[in-house]
Amino acid sequence: MAEVLLVAEHAGGKLNPSTAKSVTCAAAIGTVTVAVFTDSDDGVASAAAQLDGVSKVLLVESAQNAQALAAVLAPQVVALASNYTHVLAPSTTFGKDLLPRVAARLGVPQVSDIMTVKSERQFGRPIYAGNVLVEVTVPDDVTVVGTVRTASFSAAATGDTAAIEKTSVDADIPDHTRYVGLESHGGERPDLQSANRVVSGGRGVGSAENFALIYNLADKLGAAAGASRAAVDAGFVPNDMQVGQTGKIIAPDLYIAIGISGAIQHITGIKDAGTIVAINKDADAPIFAVADIGLAGDLFEIVPQLEQALDS
């Protein structure tokens, strides 16, 4: 039976929603142990223990684990890995940074962005910005290391209470990497990666000030706010709002794209959304080819009207 070690992502005493989604993937492979690396037992371990499908939580508490630095965490994950057949982490910037460092130390390949589990060693994953899917098989006798494309899995429910085991690891931890700080813009709105509804704006929105239109509509819908790369590059919004191949891959029930042309790198990030709505003044914009509902017209007229119509 496969024994899966899943590295939890968390910050500020909160388990990142990507962890619950990765649990669903891990549970489809085998027995799931979640590893929580932290500097203080701030409730993250017990949140992980409540996820259905988790059979044990390993709590590794040490001052060095105050920040999630790959160089610091990798040797600890490697030290734990010998007891497991699989090591997984979410395919977020956290997991993408960490796991290849673990895989290289273990001398094994990594499966990035697992979308489907075909068997304990066989997985579906996207290549070419999601335009091609392939099946990859990990050779027998090596630890399976992989990151989970969280948009492909629903979050594990809560209810169970698994045992929490405090443990320490014997690992050589380097001091060549130091955390300086985080500039975060995450405000009151829901988290982009786990929100049920997302409203995104593109270059067509025109300016940082005009993005108020997007935020207002998002707030009306209780939605997260996102953006295209062009809107981020133009300085309208911060980088953490970027949706797409090199931004966030998301799967909300409702995605509203406003003033976004629908470049393939953007579409990659929203392909799994339930309903896609596009508002664009160019009736031939490629976004309409993937939208479930399209409305051609000027966003500066449509968006305020839409906001009003939602009130009635």
Partner 1 sequence: MKILVCAKRVIDYNVKVQINREGDGVVTDGVKMSINPFDEIAIEEALRIRDRGEADEVVVASIGPGSAQQQLRTALAMGADRAILIETDAAIQPLGAARIFMQLVETEQPGLVLMGKQAIDDDSNQTGQMLAALWHKPQATFVSKLELADGKATATREVDAGLETIEVDLPAVVTTDLRLNEPRFVKMPDIMKAKRKPLETTALAELDVDLGPQLAVANYSPPPQRQAGVMVESVDELVAALRDKGVI
- Binding residues vs ligand FAD (CB under 6 A): 202-204, 228-231, 242-247, 259-261, 263, 265-266, 269, 280-282, 285, 298-300
Q: Looking at 119, 161, 168, 177, which residue binds partner 1 (CB under 8 A)?
A: 177
Question: Cα-flanking dihedrals φ and ψ of residue 267, to 5°?
Answer: -55, -35
Select the binding partner of residue 174 from ligand FAD, partner 1, none (C-beta < 5 to 8 A, by kind).
Answer: partner 1
275 touching partner 1, by CB under 8 A: yes
Select the binding partner of residue 203 from partner 1, ligand FAD, none (C-beta < 5 to 8 A, by kind).
Answer: ligand FAD
Separation of alpha carbons 307 and 236, rounded Å: 21
Q: Report strand pairing: 122-127 vs 132-137.
A: antiparallel
Tell me which H or E stretch contains 24: helix 17-27
Q: Report strand pairing: 10-11 vs 122-127.
A: unpaired
Three-state DSSP state, 101:
helix
Nearest to 244 by CA among 261, 227, 221, 224: 227
131 touching partner 1, by CB under 8 A: yes
Kindly state the smallest distance separating residue 277's Cβ from partner 1, in Å. 7
276 touching partner 1, by CB under 8 A: yes
| Residues between 218 and 247 that touch partner 1 (CB under 8 A) | 221, 229, 232-233, 238-240, 245-246
CA angle 3, 144, 271 (to 5 degrees): 105
Tokens 């931004």 appear where?
247
Kindly state the smallest distance separating residue 92's Cβ from partner 1, in Å. 5
Contact 36, 60 (CB under 8 A): yes
207 touching partner 1, by CB under 8 A: no
105 touching partner 1, by CB under 8 A: yes
Which of 28, 249 has the CB closer to partner 1? 249
1 touching partner 1, by CB under 8 A: no
